[in-house]
Structure 1
Amino acid sequence: MAKAKSEQQRQADKTKRHGVFTKIVLFIMALPITVMVTMIISILVEWGLIWHCDEGPGTTVCSFADFQPGMGVDHSRNMLRAEAGYVNQHFKDSLMGSAPVKLAGELITWTDDNIFRPIGIDDYIRKSNQEKGWAWNYFVSAYTIIKVVLLRLCVLFLSIPAYILFAVVGLVTGLVQRDLRKWGAGRESTDKFELSTKLISPSVVLCFVIYLSWPNSINPALIVVPFAAMFGYALHLTASNYKKYF
């Protein structure tokens, strides 16, 4: 009976390990899809702002997005300049590379050379205003928003050390809390452990979605730092609620 129970426990542990590995793989695979979906959402939001705010009176939505009547494509261009300024200001030197600004510039140049120029963007830009038609503002705004998203991706990539820092602090404090619970005869709580593990993915995915689709320029620290702290706290809860005995 004890042998059968032990075998069942080993099978359960094996299934759990496979489950964790599967979740990690799915999470890594989901990030590029999240970026693509967020990029589409950002373009649609910018188009909605052009349609709603460009000619009509300013509303609360327009004020929140810093979109004044008549801005047109200048709104997305202002966003691009502001995001480039944040990269230049906050990431002159980074643990992820010696030239973050150069990295961002090379990414945008590669996108222009390998995606937009082959589809004929240069020829379209050289057309007259009559030939460009009403779709010009929407096309240029989408083109610029893609560059904004790429710059923000660079910011998120360069912000990985912040996530690592909060992760280390969260794991250390969580393991200390677990040892205190272990030697202090604290209770096990599977529900708390399961809930804490479910907070890890949103702390990363929501940071991507919110920051990449934000409708105006925003200091990346206002979004990255809170979500990195949330990530560290989720790891703290996970480590502190992990089972007392292996």
Structure 2
Amino acid sequence: MAEPTDPRRTVARPGIFSRVLTGIAQCLKWLFLSLLFSILVEWVGMVFWWEEQGLDHSRQMLVNELRFLGADFNRSLLTAHPMQFARDLSDQFYQAAFEWTRIVDLIQWMTPAPSAEESGIRPVLYRVYQPASEFVLSAMQITQLFAVRLAVLTLATPVFGLFTLVALVDGLVQRDLRRWGGGRESSFVYHYTKKAAIPLIIMAWVLYLALPFSLHPSWIILPFALAFAFAVTITASTFKKYL
């Protein structure tokens, strides 16, 4: 016979610190998955779509992203030198992923062709690495491209903040008009728009970071910022009239 449950038993809820750590871990997870997806798409494209360009495709995307940044991000609320900020972030990613892990040293050691008399593991690694050398180098360039795009998204964060502030004020005004005018409430709309707000930001970041071609960041950031602002407006306007 099943034991009766105690109605006084309470379920422990995570605290603020654990929620913050969980949020940071989720962000890092999505960033890592975006980077892996970007590298995978680039490798598939080198085989099927831009076979003639090969390694030049990722290099040209990196050049284009830096050109977009230099042309349209001359000023930012977060830093006085956006271009230098992106370059520094790209260099830090490169150092952390390839220099500190000694991957660069390993590549430099495997790249020279071994002599006919040389024996050991290096000739074996050379034969294995040589056909995949362009894919390895493209992954390194995609990592730098990922860092540049991450810098662009970081610099564009005030846009989401500004749109959110305007949307919140507009939504609260609509809520007051509904409250004093005796308008009807809709908890269904409120809960679903509230759940859709954060995924819109995640989609904007993941989509832009994983794009397999160069695209001006405004074509990604502005539509998702407007969609997020619309969700905030609906959420604020449909919030219950009486607390």
> What range describes the TM-score normalised by the shorter chain of this pair?
0.7 to 0.9
Q: Is the 8 A contact 1:27 1:201 kept in 2?
A: no
Partners of 1:20 and 1:175 lie apart in 2 by 26
Partners of 1:21 and 1:234 lie apart in 2 by 27
1:237 to 206, 212, 234: 234
Q: Which amino acid aligns with 1:75?
A: H
1:92 to 48, 58, 74: 74
Question: Cα 1:188–1:25, aligned 2, differ >3 Å: closer, same or farther?
Answer: farther
Q: Which amino acid aligns with 2:183?
A: G
Give how far 1:161 is off: 1.1
Residue 79 of structure 1 corresponds to 61
Residue 120 of structure 2 corresponds to none
Give how far 1:29 is off: 3.4
Q: Does 1:147 align with 2:144?
A: yes
Q: Which amino acid aligns with 2:201?
A: V
Give how far 1:80 is off: 0.5
5+ residue gaps, structure 2: 1-10, 115-125
Residue 70 of structure 1 corresponds to 52
Give how far 1:23 is off: 7.3
Q: Does 1:190 align with 2:187?
A: yes
Structure 1 segment 199-218 matched on structure 2, within 5 A:
199-218=196-215
SS in 2 for 1:210: helix
Count of equivalent residues: 217
Residue 38 of structure 1 corresponds to 34
1:72-126 Cα deviation digits (max 9, x unpaired): 1100000000011111112111111101111111112222333312323155247
Residue 29 of structure 1 corresponds to 25
Partners of 1:25 and 1:179 lie apart in 2 by 36
SS in 2 for 1:218: coil
2:47 to 21, 44, 51: 51
Partners of 2:20 and 2:192 lie apart in 1 by 17
- Point out the more displaced range, 123-132 or 161-170: 123-132
Q: Is the 8 A contact 1:80 1:147 kept in 2?
A: yes
Residue 6 of structure 2 corresponds to none
2:104 to 117, 121, 127: 121
Q: Which amino acid aligns with 1:89?
A: A
Residue 177 of structure 2 corresponds to 180
Partners of 1:116 and 1:18 lie apart in 2 by 37
Structure 1 segment 215-226 matched on structure 2, within 5 A:
215-226=212-223
Residue 106 of structure 1 corresponds to 88
Q: Is the 8 A contact 1:77 1:144 kept in 2?
A: yes
Partners of 1:26 and 1:217 lie apart in 2 by 32
